[in-house]
Structure 1
Amino acid sequence: MDTPKRRIIGHTLYSAHLEEERTVKIFLPPDYDENKSYPILYCHDGNEFFSHGRIATFAADLIAQGKLKPFLIAGIAVNHERRADDYALFGQRNDAYTRFVIEECIPFVEQSYAIHKERFYRAMAGISLGAVVTLELVFANPQLFEQLILFSGAFYQEVLTYVNRIPLTHKMSAYMIVGEQEQDVETPSGHYNFLQANREMKALLEDKALQITYQEKTGTHIWGFWQKYIPEVLMWLHQKWHFEEV
């Protein structure tokens, strides 16, 4: 019998907050049934998660093998020219971007697809600066999310200070991974030790009683490193979601 095929559906949304269009790609699992309710993972740098990270391929394969229960993925495309403005904690368009995600993107996705509405079944993932905006969104909207996935977070000092100050009112879990060779990462604003920054962020999040799964692995600040661990991340989500309750 042929393995059921995955589906990826693209939508173009106009954001009144950003005053531009954004593409959102939706991964639907094999045998998607609109009469059921599914967990969902939202990803910043959405196109790259699908192309460089191969997240839809990994998800479909693991579901077909019976290792994962069906769930959806929403990949939110980035504006490459304004990425830092949108994702950085004090970026020029950070407020507009976060309002787009919360007020425009998520409502559209969850009105269009069969998504489980409880925060327990919503997760968000980001890489580098995408991990920063993931933290910001989840902490600012704890009623919406319970799981965070943070790949090689660009946790500059202002991000560490922000997280240290903000209160946490809901139970949360985070998966963190960073490369052992990310001690001198070149960015547009200089060179940074992301390995040490992720260690400090892990300690801060643990102080706030987050359940942290943390790994340091051989690797640098590139998609080739992150892609290798996406199947492991999806398996972690599977365990957190307790699918028998859906």
Structure 2
Amino acid sequence: MTSTILERQINFYILQPETPPNETINVLYVQDGDDYLKIGKIQECFEQLLNDHPSKAENLSIILVPPGNSIERYNFYHPEGSSHEQYLKFFYNELIPEIEKIFAGKRKRIQRQGLLGDSLGGAVSLSLCCRAPEKWTHLILQSAAFSPKNRQEAKAVHDLKNIKIYQLVGKKEDSFVSPISNEPLYILTNNREMRKVLATKQVDVTYIEEDEEHLWVFWQRDLPRALSYFLNN
């Protein structure tokens, strides 16, 4: 699709069964769509879920949204990125209406609607959720690279208690250095702090720490559990 807001082409992908059997579907928007497809093996994970749990997975539609190159990604995803506000507007004013139009044309009704993201993709997923929490039922965060501004966003939201959050982080992630800013991101510490903020909001959070680093192999291994969380909770 062509985004007027971002002034560029956005090539999103939809993963779903060839013919979803039910009228009701569950939609999961995925940041870093290309990476989840190529490195995270999300299509293979989805196909395995369809094989193992067809009654649940056959109602799932996954929207993969690639951000562009690493600089564009930073500017879209980071709260202080030069195009961050435009990206949030694009998501709500252009992308979601386009997806809703596609499913309405197939006479599908959306029941659950979630966001999935890793690292900065997790941070922007939280930003999107905080802008319009009533739009979402689930937030799936894999090693989200939160900044203090993300905590401020969460604190400022009046009501998040109807959203179920899956929050995964590795115990070795504080040492990860951003390739853009060349500064450590203290991902473990910031996730622990975000967990405290969410606790004050009475949010249903499934929080998991594992002895892992900030690597795709960690998120790929976790993906079946994360997708199952979206389908079953």
TM-score, normalising length from structure 1? 0.86
Contact kept? 1:87, 1:130, Cα under 8 Å = yes
Matched, 1:221 2:211: no
Query: Which of these residues, 64, 67, 72, is aligned with residue 78 of structure 1?
Result: 67
Q: Number of aligned residue pairs: give it.
A: 225
Instruction: Kindly indicate whether the alpha-carbon contact (under 8 Å) linking 1:142 and 1:170 is maintained by their aligned counterparts in 2.
Output: no
In structure 1, runs of 5+ residues without a counterpart are 1-12, 241-246
Secondary structure of the corresponding residue to residue 192 of structure 1: coil
Distance in 1 of aligned mates of 2:68 and 2:28: 20
Which residue matches 2:87?
Answer: 97
State the 1:233 CA deviation.
Answer: 0.6
TM-score (normalised: structure 2): 0.91
Look up the match of 1:130: 121
Alpha-carbon deviations, 1:85-114, whole Å to 9, x = none? 111112111111111111111111121135
Q: 2:225 aligns with which of 214, 227, 232?
A: 232
**Letter in structure 2 aligned against 1:131:** G
Higher helix share: 2
Matched with 1:46 is 33
TM-aligned CA deviation for residue 226 of structure 1? 0.5
Shift of 1:161: 2.4
Distance in 2 (CA, whole Å) between partners of 1:133 and 1:178 is 16
Any residues of structure 2 matched to 1:98-117 within 5 Å, and which?
98-113=88-103, 114=106, 115-117=108-110
Deviation at 1:169, TM superposition (A): 5.5
1:32 maps onto 2:20 in alignment: yes
Off by >4 Å, runs of 4+ in structure 1: none
Cα separation, 1, equivalents of 2:173 and 2:109: 37
Structure 1 Cα separation of the partners of residues 92 and 161 of structure 2: 18
Choose which of 166, 172, 176 in structure 1 pairs with 2:167: 176
Give ranges in structure 2 of 5+ residues lacking alignment. none
The share of aligned pairs that are identical, in percent, is 26
The residue type paired with residue 23 of structure 1 is N
